[in-house]
A and B are shown apart, each in its own frame.
Chain A
């Protein structure tokens, strides 16, 4: 605003005041920001008073005597009242055009740009003023990064009437697409106002905006607390237990699932309901695969928690409740930060996984079969054409994967069964690596042994990922 003279500022001030504009809206049009060092939004009356005094303009009383609601912000920048941004946007635009016409020489900042040169955004002014009042009333300090937020919806009685015109214009614009019902939201009005040409706007809306007849009122106040997160690793001791509920045509595929077992335990310990929680794990094992050893990393998110302080006792209680089911266990359960959550999804391609498998072979000599497997080099490269098993939901593609290591072991007393432990690259189709899947996976244990070899049972015993942070 350095380029503008005080004279200019005063002229605009007087002009807008005559139109019943409130002082904060005038500051906004003049290009002031809340983040400015000399923030005038705190006490705009004083700011203009000083401006006038500097100019020695005898008349120091505000010209705005008629107590109409401000035609731009509908008084929502007024500490005594408050906003809904729909009519507000239209009105802001109307006054903006009017102002630009009257003062063509003054370089007004843009209304919609996202750069520095934008006029202060309406909601920021509102938040600034509202936060101040609320802090005083509630005797709590306002912090922009607090984990508790307040959503205030403000309603203007004539909103629908004023937005009706807008609907018509938008409808005309998109008439080619036969959409009859157009949702009017703050966002699409913004988008629309950004591009509208001034004449068209003036044909539909009065500029400057008419003096409002109704006051705004608070429609609702919603309180939300940021979610809290619990991280840990889970084990699954039984086959045919799913990871999450899986329903096909109204029938559950598995009787139990890890998510529900964990949620139930958390419900008991925290007294919160299931629908406040979301479950997220680092990958998933098949229904018929157990998860043993070090377990699989996971976290749960609890929305809108009543209590943010989680005690060690509560966490231990959850672990105990879970293991009581004898189907699953959770270890290392702890509160985790939202910023850590991406660890669980990161590096999914490189993550190594360790499996133990029970295999059955048609080889007549089990010792030879085991030897030929154990002769395989470290980091064996294999190519897997999308298995038949998942062809219905995955793109047909040949994928290269690495079997980092492999070790077969005899099972005393069994001539066709043996155990194999292997470390694979994430995303390897393990079952297919054993049986070969119509030679779609090469090499496979079947091809290495030279006789059909198949996988009878599979356990996942490690997923290489440090999670959660604390041991």
Chain B
């Protein structure tokens, strides 16, 4: 090894600091699990009518993929119901029959904001609870875990218990930012949703 290589080598050794020291202590302390750190939560209460709470949680990944799940203000979660089944049969179309191809997800069904994604059936309850898509998007994946264990929708709604994956239609370079989408489709931020839930409590008591 000549003197030049030795010199470079010494620099490399000095600069290759151990992995534990390569990030800030505070960063390790503040470290959030993967299902939180990449996502920005938005809530949709647009379809709450006549005292029925259909609150939906939309988790926007930084790449604008969206996980859709029930939000904690949803009647099923509020009333601590047990989910028996999820019905993806909407207007004679089975939403779980997704036939995707390629990067662009050709073949995905495009759903409107007010399209019903699925109906939820609870134990000792004749009602079917519709879940609205809440933001115009392609429905690209059904979460296979909830098909096996539907109650995950309640028990693990912030992690494994999402219904499926949405890909908002307005993608591409000119796509809307999450904030623009939130404004257009009246989605609430975490803070706004907390405020909404507080103001919504009296309703619940009246009901």
Residues of A near any B CB (own CB < 8 A): 235, 237, 239, 249, 290, 292-293, 316, 319-320, 323, 326, 329, 331, 356-358, 360, 388-396, 411, 414, 417, 419, 431, 435, 437-439, 452, 454, 456-457, 459
CB-nearest residue of chain A relative to B38?
A389
Known interface pairs A239-B23, A394-B103; A439-B160 also in contact (CB < 8 Å)? yes
Question: B6-46 CB contact bits vs A (8 Å, 1 = yes)?
Answer: 01100110011101101100011001011100100000000
Distance to closest chain A CB from B82 (angstroms): 22
Question: Which residues of chain A have C-beta atoms less than 8 A from B31's C-beta?
Answer: 360, 454, 456
One of B47-55, B61-69, B72-80, B182-190 contacting the partner = B61-69
> What are the residues of chain A within 8 A of B28 when measuring CB–CB?
360, 417, 456
CA distance A411 to B28 in the complex (A): 14
- For residue B132, CB closer than 8 A to chain A, the reply is no
Contact check, B61 vs A358: say whether CB atoms are below 8 A apart. Answer: no
Which of B7, B34, B171 contacts A435, CB < 8 Å? B34
CB distance from B124 to the nearest CB of A (A): 30
Write out the residue numbers on chain B whose beta carbons fall within 8 Å of the beta carbon of A292. 16
CB proximity of A22 to chain B, nearest CB, Å: 56
Question: Are A393's CB and B22's CB within 8 A?
Answer: no
> Is there a chain A Cβ closer than 8 Å to B139's Cβ?
no
Say whether B105 faces chain A, with CB atoms less than 8 Å apart.
yes
Knowing A439-B160, A456-B31, the reply to whether A389 touches B16 (Cβ < 8 A) is no
Nearest Cβ on chain B to A399's Cβ, whole angstroms: 14
B100 located at the interface, meaning its Cβ lies under 8 Å from any Cβ of chain A in the complex: yes
Interface centre among B16, B61, B102 (most CB of A within 10 A): B16
Q: In the complex, how many residue pairs between chain A and chain B have their CB atoms under 8 Å apart? A: 98
Nearest B residue to A331 via CB reads B8
Which one of B11, B17, B33 lies within 8 Å of A452 (CB-CB)? B33
A159 to B4 alpha-carbon distance, docked (Å):
60
Chain B 141-173 residues near chain A, CB threshold 8 A: 141, 143, 145, 159-160, 162, 165, 167, 171, 173
Decide if B140 is an interface residue (CB 8 Å cutoff): yes
Whether the Cβ atoms of A239 and B8 lie closer than 8 Å is: no
- Contact (Cβ within 8 A) B35 A456: no
Asked if B101 is an interface residue, CB under 8 A from chain A, the answer is yes
Q: Could you say which residues of chain B place their CB within 8 Å of the CB of A439?
A: 145, 160
Give the complex CA separation of A320 and B12 in angstroms: 11
Kindly report which residue of chain B lies nearest to residue A357, judged by CB atoms: B19
Whether B103 pairs with A435 at a CB distance below 8 angstroms is no
Q: Contact check, A323 vs B11: say whether CB atoms are below 8 A apart.
A: yes
Closest B residue to A458 by beta carbon equals B19
Q: In chain A, what residue has the closest Cβ to B23?
A: A457
Q: Given A239-B23, A316-B4, A392-B171, are A454 and B15 also a contact pair (CB < 8 Å)? A: no
Contact A396 B63, beta carbon cutoff 8 Å: no
Of A316, A452, A457, the contact of B19 (CB 8 Å cutoff): A457
Residue among A290, A360, A438, A459 with most chain B CB within 10 A = A438
Residues in A with CB closer than 8 Å to B19 are: 356-358, 419, 457, 459
Q: Give the distance to chain B from A170, nearest Cβ to Cβ, in Å.
A: 34
- Choose among A293, A319, A419, A431 the residue that contacts B20 (Cβ–Cβ < 8 A): A419
Q: Contact check: which of B8, B33, B141 meets A396 at CB < 8 Å?
A: B141
**Does A438 contact B159, Cβ atoms closer than 8 Å?**
yes
Q: Is the beta-carbon distance between B61 and A456 smaller than 8 angstroms?
A: no
**CB pair A358 B23 closer than 8 Å:** yes
Chain A minimum-CB-distance residue to B167: A392
Q: Point out the residues of chain B lying under 8 angstroms from A392, CB to CB.
A: 61, 63-65, 167, 171
**Closest beta carbon of chain A to B129's beta carbon, Å:** 23
Q: Are B22 and A457 in contact (CB under 8 A)?
A: yes
Shortest CB distance A321–B (Å) = 11
Closest Cβ of chain A: how far from B168's Cβ, in Å?
Answer: 10
Give the CA-CA distance A188 to B19 in the complex, in Å.
Answer: 59
Chain A's closest residue to B145 (CB) is A439
Q: Smallest distance from the beta carbon of B112 to chain A beta carbons, Å?
A: 21
Closest to B98 in A: A396
A323-B11, A417-B28 known; A459 and B165 CB under 8 Å?
no
Report the separation of the CA atoms of residues A228 and B67 in the bound assembly, to the nearest whole angstrom.
49
Could you tell me if B15 and A326 are in contact, using CB atoms closer than 8 angstroms?
yes
Hey, what's the 0/1 contact readout for B95-110 against A, CB within 8 Å counting as 1?
A: 0000011110100000
- Residues from chain B with a CB closer than 8 A to the CB of A456 are 23, 27-28, 31
Least distance between B20 CB and chain A CB atoms (Å)? 6
Inter-chain contacts of A357 with B (CB < 8 A): 19
A388 to B145, CA, bound (A): 15
| Partner among B4, B65, B101 whose Cβ is within 8 Å of the Cβ of A388 | B65
Chain B residues with Cβ below 8 Å from A393 are: 63, 103
Q: A411 to B33, Cβ gap below 8 A?
A: no
Which listed residue, A293, A435, A459, touches B33 by the CB 8 Å rule? A435
Given contacts A389-B61, A396-B140, contact A454 B34 (CB under 8 A): yes
Closest CB in chain B relative to A332 CB, distance in Å: 9
4 further interface pairs, Cβ-Cβ under 8 Å (given A237-B17, A323-B8, A389-B38)? A392-B167, A393-B103, A395-B101, A437-B34
- Identify which of residues 172-202 in chain B touch chain A, using a CB-to-CB cut-off of 8 Å: 173
> Which residue of the partner chain B has the closest CB to A290?
B22
Contact of A329 among B15, B61, B171, B173 (CB under 8 A): B15
